[in-house]
Amino acid sequence: MDETTLPLVDASYKRPWKLLKEFVDRRGGPTIIDGKPHYLTRVFIDEYFRLVVPGLAIQPSGVARHRTAFQWYADYLEWRPQVHPGKERFDVDSFDVQASLDLYASNYLANYQQGTHDLHAGLPTDVLTEDDHRKAMVHVYRNNLDYWRDFGVSWCVCHATFVRQDTLRKLTLGHLKADVAHPPPGVVGVNATILLLVLPPGSRKDDSAKNKANQTTAGPGTGRRGPINFKSKVVGFFRHKSVVQCATGQIAMSVMTRFHIETDLSFLSVNEGRPLWQKQNLLQNWKANDSGQRACSSAYEKVLSACAILCNKVTHLRSAGMEQASARGELTADEVATMSKHRKGKMFDAYITELFGPVMQVMSGHNKNDSYFLPRSEVQLPYPIEQCVRICFPKYDAWCEQWNNGNYGGDSHLSARNFLLKVIPLLARVIVQDAPYWLKHFPKHEYSNFIRQKVPINFWREWCPQAIAQAGAIADERAIVSVHALGQVAA
């Protein structure tokens, strides 16, 4: 194995590795051990932390990541068991390494205290407000910014589910799942279905190298049970009260406009490989690489600057989501952790739900103790759901034909069945129910123009205005009933 065949490495590990190699090359090059060059030796590591680390001029946490990065490259590249069978694991840490880190942290703190700093800068509570969220999304759509698909999906999903941007950029359409077992409280019938994201092993920053390393030695047929943490996780969301902040709606819009007429969403497994539909990223252009991260950061910075929004961490919507859930949503740390996946222990890993209703309720714009209510979802659709699906996804019948074609490699995975029979109908329902509000509030946006061009004219000219009026009447009636019930309780 060389660096081109390594597992997907954390992007933050690459620079430390580059700096170490440059340092060693300047000192005469790597040491040859068992016929192979090694940059990771006890001498080189200790000298690196003693000579290079003091000049890095970054926060102590960033310096400590150099140690973590070198350990990863030791485990997966230079000192992996296949290269040195029978030898103990090479441990990057040592007394000298820890002493260098402690000295760096001490000097950094002393320099910080002596400098001139804004005492209010970078506080952990400096996160986005609800008004900030709406302001940013409205800016994107009113100005018809060309990255609206990826921005809308990433902004809303990361905030609602506490998923990191890096994780989201790794997910594909196959990681979408429709779920009926965790509906919003009090909701039954077709509106009880919610959308989930499946987070596979290795996709999350929290997945340890140890768990990844055990993948090949634990599982079916090996006679061993793999680590509990080495399994898929799920996060989910209810539809949001605000159309522009709804993660389900953003995904629906993106999928519809991307694959309305495209034919490359194939459900055929060619030569036992993954079918094309499973390779389509959830984000269209922001890929799981450095350029994708830069594109995301650049877009976020431009929007925040244009809206005069100050945020501590530009692309860290995960922090803003958890802040909202805990501070404004009044949820406990354990409740928030069901979505953030910070909880530890066998009980939490194996038995406690990952889709905790109160968390999803708060992140949908409702208060914890309020009943969940979405007026626009109560309006009857203008067409049968089957017709709505075919209006929104004209290639749907062709996709289903491929999926059902067992003789020619139709995708037999549960993900394909769920995507075609559950996810697509859910997205079509959301598109139809949300469309009136996009046409009303963003009539000049690309998506509104798309609707006017691709759906029946009587839909957007007649039904959409009627749907807004009906949703308003439903909301008013609900408010009257609630006030009446409150009066009865008081009496």
Whole-angstrom Cα distance, residue 319 to residue 342? 13
Q: What is the pLDDT of residue 384?
A: 96
Whole-angstrom Cα distance, residue 287 to residue 142? 25
Report, as an integer, the average pLDDT of 186-191: 91
Q: pLDDT confidence of 9, banded at 50, 70, 90?
A: confident
Of 77-91, 125-139, 319-333, 411-425, where does mean pLDDT reach its minimum? 319-333
Share above pLDDT 70 across residues of the chain, in percent, rounded to a whole number: 80
- The 3 state secondary structure assigned to 206-266 is CCCHHHHHHHHCCECCCCECCCCCCCCEEEEECCCCCHHHCHHHHHHHHHHHHHCCCCCCC
**Which strand (E) or helix (H) includes residue 481?**
helix 464-490
Q: pLDDT confidence of 93, banded at 50, 70, 90?
A: very high
Whole-angstrom Cα distance, residue 105 to residue 97? 13
Q: Under a CB-based contact definition with an 8 Å cutoff, are residues 87 and 39 in contact?
A: no
Q: Model's pTM, two decimal places?
A: 0.74
DSSP 378-404: GSPPSS-HHHHHHHH-TTHHHHHHHHH
Whole-angstrom Cα distance, residue 342 to residue 477? 41
Task: Count Cβ atoms within 10 A of the Cβ of residue 250 and give its class: 0-12 exposed, 13-18 middle, 19 or more buried.
Answer: buried
Q: Is 190 helix (H, G, I), strand (E, B) or coil?
A: helix
DSSP 326: I
Higher pLDDT residue, 350 or 278?
278
pLDDT tens sequence across 408-452: 678 888 999 999 999 999 999 999 999 999 999 999 999 999 999
Residue 102 confidence (pLDDT) above 90: yes
Q: What is the pLDDT of residue 489?
A: 40
Give which of 199, 218, 198, 222 is closest to 210, Cα–Cα.
Answer: 218
Report, as an integer, the average pLDDT of 270-297: 86
Of 216-220, 388-392, 446-450, where does mean pLDDT reach its minimum? 216-220
Mean pLDDT value across the chain? 84
Whole-angstrom Cα distance, residue 396 to residue 338? 35
**Which strand (E) or helix (H) includes residue 9?**
none
Whole-angstrom Cα distance, residue 2 to residue 341? 32
Token pair, residue 113, equals 């205290």
Higher pLDDT residue, 57 or 231?
57
Q: What is the topology classification, in CATH, of domain 130-490?
A: hpI Integrase; Chain A (1.10.443)
Whole-angstrom Cα distance, residue 427 to residue 253? 8
Phi, psi of 195 (to 5 degrees): -100, 135
pLDDT tens sequence across 134-176: 899 999 999 999 999 999 999 999 989 988 888 999 999 999 9
DSSP 371: P
Whole-angstrom Cα distance, residue 437 to residue 88? 62
Vertex 161: Cα angle to 156 and 163 (nearest 5): 95
Q: What is the pLDDT of residue 215?
A: 43
Of 311-320, 415-424, 479-488, where does mean pLDDT reach its minimum? 479-488
Q: What is the pLDDT of residue 288?
A: 85
The alpha carbons of the chain give a radius of gyration, in whole angstroms, of 26
Give which of 245, 247, 248, 214 is closest to 231, Cα–Cα.
Answer: 214
Q: pLDDT confidence of 133, banded at 50, 70, 90?
A: confident
Sequence ranges of the domains in the chain: 3-114, 130-490
Q: In terms of residues, how long is the chain? A: 491
Helices 95-114 and 42-51: angle between axes, nearest 10 degrees: 10
Token pair, residue 402, equals 């491929």
Q: Under a CB-based contact definition with an 8 Å cutoff, are residues 266 and 277 in contact?
A: yes
Give which of 266, 265, 240 is closest to 251, Cα–Cα.
Answer: 240
Residue 202 confidence (pLDDT) above 70: no
Whole-angstrom Cα distance, residue 172 to residue 198? 10
Give which of 317, 297, 313, 258 is closest to 450, Cα–Cα.
Answer: 258
Whole-angstrom Cα distance, residue 430 to residue 423? 11
Q: Mean pLDDT: which of 85-99, 119-133, 325-339, 399-413 is highest?
A: 85-99
Give which of 206, 171, 201 is closest to 281, Cα–Cα.
Answer: 171
Cα distances from 209 to residues 26, 69, 389, 429, 480, in angstroms, run 30, 11, 42, 41, 56
| Partner residues linked to 36 by β-bridges | 33
Token pair, residue 246, equals 């709804």
Whole-angstrom Cα distance, residue 301 to residue 306? 8
Q: What is the pLDDT of residue 5?
A: 64
